[in-house]
Amino acid sequence: MSPTRRNVLKSAAAITALSAGRLALGAQPEASAATESRPDKEGPWSGRHSGIVSMAMHVHASWSEGIASMQTHLDQATRTGIDVLWWTEHDFRMAEHGYPDVIHMNGPSEQVGGVAWSWAQQAVGTAATSAVVGDTSMASPGDAAIAGSVHLSARSEGLDLVSVGVKGSAANTVDQRSVYDQTIEIDVFPASVSQHSYLAVKLTTSWRPATHGRPAGEYTLTYVIDGTQDRERRLSGIDGIVHVPARQGRWNTVRLRPEEDMARFWPDIDCRDAAMFNLTLSAVSEMEQLAEGWFDLLRITRPPRKANAPLEMQAELMKGYAKRFPAVRQYQGLEVSLIKPTHFNWFGPEITMPTFADPRPIADPDPNAALAVVDMIHSTGGLASYNHPFGTAHPADLPPAKQDALRASVAASVLSDRAMGCDILEVGYPSRGGVDLDRHAQVWDVCSRNGLFLTGTGVSDDHSGQDWSGQQSNFVTWAHAESRELKHLLPALSAGNVFFGNPALFTGTIGLLVDGAAPMGSVTVSNALTRNVRVLLNRLPADSSVWVVRGTVDGAGPSAPEPGTTSSQIPSSDWSRGYVDIKIDTSTPRFVRVEVRSGTGDVLALSNPVWLLRDDPDGGIPKNRRVR
């Protein structure tokens, strides 16, 4: 082996071995024996160096809003070669905290426990006549104290089917919820129904990958009320139809159990991993037959359960899916969401359901509540992530001047409250809140300039599970870690020994090593006037370049929320040895990180920084980052 090759391998080994820190770890859901193996994987993210663990760190499935299931995310993770998937469902959504459970249907909108519920008209096909009317003169006997119901009617213009109805929704999408152990009851008055004209309750449930000869898609359940008195079921691919007994000319209470019906239709899938994504009520007509009736008093309930029951069920699902998707290690995380100024992801060994200050599903504005959450996470040996600093929306990028103003405002806020004590900052969003990736990174640089040592990560915050490689927000995080065990991953995250980027376009690895001793993420102190930062990079795209970002650690404070960085370019041709040594002037304290950019200037991957200080900062150096 050549001396150059030997040096590269020694440096890479040092980067992993020197990942600082020891965290007290407890129990996570047990992995099956299958998850201990790491079989060869094909795909755009496969074949990396040993000692590199790829992680999807912000993922939502059927316990949160959106169409994804755990199954489809695990299918995507397997196809794309991801080593570790952290489930980060919203805490209050898993708990269904403050969710509407009794909707009186006495108008197009109503308040249920302080939450706004509304009905929007829906129509499919061409109707000769139709009506969607709130009827205050008609009410179910079970809801007589609150007069009103929804009157629906439809008659098709010809032979083709027409559907006229309403779709339910609630503020903050709290109408979307898991179907596990769910019961839906609704009172219905079929006035005119037949084989070709009926009332329908339709549930659209989570997306699943193609399986068992069925296409990928959202699985649906349609409950048909057509005057028949037997409960009949009919299946067509990913659409199940259940005929529900109900008599014409009178009020009936129909009781629906979606999880049980899904299990009968599709016994090969785990029906506990499904959400009710849409709920519609309709009058359906074909062959010019009149469909008419009333709906009232919608109830969505489940048996009483203890606070951690959803987490326990998630752990059961993880255990079952580990056998079907053995290449992906799963860990429970949690997105703690009813706090301000932002949501926190909880990564760690002892995930529990937080308590909620308000009975409604609204954020607690008291910053002490957010600080208490971080303290709770740290008390369990976990790490807290400061999520999507520019908010949760996905608008088009704002004009540059507005992005700059937002960047300065957000940077000042994060710096003022010291990121609420979090360990991690979500940086790797190509676009979020109308702000591009460069400005996300500049917020991070402002923190670094002020001695706020945050690990930057790349995330997707994916709620769909359909295209991990091709979607805009597809960043993942790679850790220099000995294994996929928590005892190795959490210290690497805590120490900042990670890099992140677009795995569809960057298939290399990044590492930093200061003076042969301090890995990426380290904070070192020396009175030397010049120090050496070895940048290790491989598999650079042919047209890419590496940018070295330097900044002064001068503690400028929130009144000067600017990154104050300079950048220099190193072409990809200079990396034939796998590393470049960079001499850094440390006559004043510095931080250094690197970016890989495409030929068109797009950021493909980013390292975490190293800090080269001359004295200990006022707040000290986190023990997981200090290397002497």
pLDDT band at residue 31 using 50, 70 and 90 as cut-offs: low
d(CA 489, CA 502): 20
Cβ–Cβ < 8 Å for 227, 172 = no
Q: What is the pLDDT of residue 29?
A: 73
The β-bridge partners of 581 are 534
Query: Can you read off the two tokens belonging to residue 196?
Result: 């070709």
pLDDT surpassing 50 at residue 36:
no
Q: Buried b / exposed e across 158-187, counting CB within 10 Å, b at 16+? A: eeeebbbbbbbbbbbebbbbbbbebbbebb
In the block, tokens 């370019």 appear at 569
pLDDT in tens, 358-397: 999 999 999 999 999 999 999 999 999 999 999 999 999 9
Give the phi and the psi of residue 48 in degrees, each rounded to 5. -75, 170
β-bridge pairing 275-285 and 197-208: antiparallel
Show the tokens assigned to 561.
Answer: 């929320």
How far from 425 is each of 336, 452, 516, 608, CA to CA, in Å? 15, 11, 27, 11
> What letter represents residue 356's amino acid?
F
Q: Tell me how far apart the terminal alpha carbons of the chain are, to the nearest angstrom.
A: 31
Q: Which H helix or E strand runs over 410?
A: helix 400-416
Question: What is residue 7's predicted lDDT score, i.e. its pLDDT?
Answer: 52
For the chain, the domains span 3-95+308-613, 102-301
> Looking at residue 311, what is its pLDDT?
98
More confident residue, 220 or 22: 220
CATH, range 102-301: 2.60.120
CATH topology for 3-95+308-613?
TIM Barrel (3.20.20)
The pLDDT > 90 percentage for the chain reads 89
Intrachain domains 3-95+308-613 and 102-301 with the same fold: no
Q: Determine the pLDDT at residue 544.
A: 94
Mean pLDDT of 386-413: 97
d(CA 204, CA 278): 5
pLDDT of residue 9: 47
| pLDDT given for residue 28 in this prediction | 81
SS3 127: strand
């300079």: which residue's tokens? 566
Given a contact cutoff of 8 angstroms between Cβ atoms, the answer to whether 538 and 546 are in contact is no
Does residue 525 carry a pLDDT above 50?
A: yes
Q: What's the pLDDT tens digit per position in 158-187?
A: 999 999 999 999 999 999 999 999 999 999
Segment 425-439 mean pLDDT: 98
Contacts of 246 (CB under 8 A, 6+ apart): 188, 190, 225, 227, 252, 254
Q: pLDDT tens digits for 50-83?
A: 799 999 999 999 999 999 999 999 999 999 999 9
Q: DSSP class of residue 220?
A: E
Give the residue-averaged pLDDT of 153-159. Answer: 95
Distance CA 399, CA 386 (A): 25
The percent helix, strand, coil of the chain (3-state, each to 5) is: 20, 35, 45
Is the preceding peptide bond at 341 cis, omega within 30 degrees of 0? yes
Angle between helices 437-449 and 400-416 (to 10 degrees): 30
Q: What is the pLDDT of residues 228-279, one digit of tens each?
A: 988 999 999 999 999 999 999 999 999 999 999 999 999 999 999 999 999 9
- ∠ CA 470-486-37, rounded to 5°: 70
Q: What is the mean pLDDT of the chain?
A: 93
| DSSP secondary structure of 40-53 | ---STT--PPTTEE
Residue 573: the pLDDT is 86
Interval 363-373: pLDDT, tens: 999 999 999 99
47 pLDDT above the threshold of 70: no
Q: Is the pLDDT of residue 45 over 60?
A: no
Residue 80 φ then ψ, to 5°? -105, 5
